[in-house]
Structure 1
Amino acid sequence: MGDAPSWAQRPEFYTCACGADLVYVCQVPENRDFAVHPGRPEQPDSVRPDAYGLFLGNEVYLPACPDRCDPAAVWPVNQN
């Protein structure tokens, strides 16, 4: 899966409903912005008019089930 997460706070560990320990896949860094498609509305209080801010000041980590027991076997973790 992914490398090691750079936790904003203490590391968090979770277990899937199937019993497997969730493993780190990726993270979205704090204040990550994404380009606005032409013609789409501006996001209120965004850092720029041509960008959407995602998770506004929070790191988001995505651990998932290594056994892939279910397509939804991922648990988003939010830290700030």
Structure 2
Amino acid sequence: MKNVPENMEFSLLSKEFPELIDIIGYHGIVIEPLPVDEIILKRIIERGKNFINYLDGVQKKLKNVQKLLLQVKLL
């Protein structure tokens, strides 16, 4: 999971909300028709991907700044 920050903690949804497993199971519920237009759904997915890419870029920039600061300290 390269796009997830290192200090991020996860918990299972089924552990946090066991009543959801009784309602939706482990595979979810297929809703037809979709609750939003397909165009809107594609846009939501696209924005999510862009956000993940943005976070990846920020993480790379932070690593570069950390390396630069370390080099300055060593001088």
TM bucket, shorter chain:
under 0.3
Larger fraction in helix: 2
Higher relative contact order (CA 8 A, sep 6+): 2
Larger fraction in strand: 1
Query: Which is greater in Rg?
Result: 2
TM-score normalised by L of structure 1? 0.22
TM-score normalised by L of structure 2? 0.23
